[in-house]
Amino acid sequence: MHWVSTKKAKAVMLIPTLLVYIVFIIIPVLVAVYYSFTDYSGMGKAEFKGFDNYIRMFGDELFLIALRNTCIVLVCSLVFLLVGSFLTAMLMNRAFRGNAFFKMVVFAPYIIAPIIIGIIWGYIMNPQYGLINNILRNIGLDALAIEWIGGTKWSPLALAIVFTWQVMGFHATIFLSGIKTIPGDIYEACAMDGANVLQRLFYVTIPMLKETFIINIVLIITGVFKIYELVYQMTGGGPAHQSELLTSYMYFTVFSSRKYGYGMAIAVAILVLSITGSFAYIRITTKKKRRES
């Protein structure tokens, strides 16, 4: 079986994966980039328009609203998910009765289809007959029974909360894997030196999980830029597209308005923003790491 470890054999075995990646990832991206420079409407010939679609985005009020909402969801998701998944992972790392069941419950939402999650939370957060507002009204807190979804103010926050609930278990599992790699000898040495729980947390656990934090932040950024089903099922982008995110607005532009060229330009912008945000964070953190070393 020595031939398996040769460079030629490895290259041959990589060919099927590379072909699938090229056909289903690279080629569709290149096609989208091409159509983003045209006025293609799904029928007829695509006429080249240069950067007109990209210039148009800066004057498109609905695009700017979707961009603003996406930024709100991104910031809220980063805060909620980083703190929540890290604390959840710390709890999952402790030995207690029912730990396995707790892990299963935390991770379960991640394997549920997003469209189903949207249906569930749509009923929970509905302003008129939703579970949250009904409970608040029954206990006399009518002032807190706000318009969670379907309005112009709280919809991005509601989407961030649901997205956090959906992927919390996945990110907590990544944190848990990182925590498991920290040698127990370090904690024993800290205990012998008199370090308390908070000191061990801030001076040992968090610094040694820098790479894990980077992975989770990049995954959160890319995940937020892929949210569609939650918007479609919970708000439909309404009222009057005020709760759209970039992905849902792109879908509306392409399949409802049939502006394929402009929709592809939005899709390319989403891809660029996602890649730029991820690589910018990685670059900043790696620079800090080099300075510290």
Predicted confidence at residue 42, as pLDDT, reads 78
Handedness of CA 80, 125, 273, 58 (dihedral sign): negative
Name the one residue in this structure whose structure tokens are 């509306």. 252
d(CA 228, CA 3): 46
Instruction: Judge whether 206 and 27 are in contact, CB under 8 Å.
Output: no
Q: Tell me the helices (H) and strands (E) count for the chain, helix number first.
A: 15, 0
More confident residue, 65 or 129: 65
pLDDT at 223 over 90: yes
- Which CATH class name applies to 69-246? mainly alpha
pLDDT at 150 over 90: no
Name the one residue in this structure whose structure tokens are 């390319």. 268
pLDDT at 286 over 90: no
Tell me which amino acid residue 231 is: V
What are the contacts of 90-93 at 24+ separation with CB within 8 A?
Answer: 90/175, 90/179, 90/205, 92/172, 92/176, 93/176, 93/179, 93/180
Q: Report the percentage of the chain scoring pLDDT > 90.
A: 63
> Sorting pLDDT into bands at 50, 70 and 90, what band is 291?
low
Predicted confidence at residue 3, as pLDDT, reads 55
> Sorting pLDDT into bands at 50, 70 and 90, what band is 46?
confident
> Sorting pLDDT into bands at 50, 70 and 90, what band is 62?
very high
Instruction: Judge whether 246 and 225 are in contact, CB under 8 Å.
Output: yes
Using DSSP's 3-state secondary structure scheme, residue 48 falls into strand
pLDDT at 143 over 90: no
d(CA 142, CA 147): 12
Predicted confidence at residue 141, as pLDDT, reads 86
pLDDT 10s digits, 107-134: 999 999 999 999 999 999 998 889 999 9
Of the candidates 28, 29, 31, 37, the one whose C-alpha atom is nearest the C-alpha of residue 56 is: 37
Predicted confidence at residue 271, as pLDDT, reads 92
d(CA 128, CA 145): 9
Instruction: Judge whether 81 and 168 are in contact, CB under 8 Å.
Output: yes
Instruction: Tokens for 188, please give them.
Output: 């024993």
- Enter the pTM of the model: 0.89
d(CA 180, CA 190): 17
What are the C-alpha distances in Å from 189 to residues 97, 185, 225, 266? Answer: 28, 6, 43, 53
Predicted confidence at residue 90, as pLDDT, reads 94
Name the one residue in this structure whose structure tokens are 């892990």. 103
pLDDT at 285 over 80: no
Q: What is the DSSP letter of 50?
A: T
Q: Which of 57-61, 89-93, 286-290 has the lowest mean pLDDT?
A: 286-290
Task: Please state, rounded to an integer, the average pLDDT across all residues of the chain.
Answer: 90
> Sorting pLDDT into bands at 50, 70 and 90, what band is 283?
confident
Task: Give the number of other Cβ atoms within 10 Å of residue 9's Cβ.
Answer: 13
Of the candidates 104, 107, 83, 103, the one whose C-alpha atom is nearest the C-alpha of residue 94 is: 103
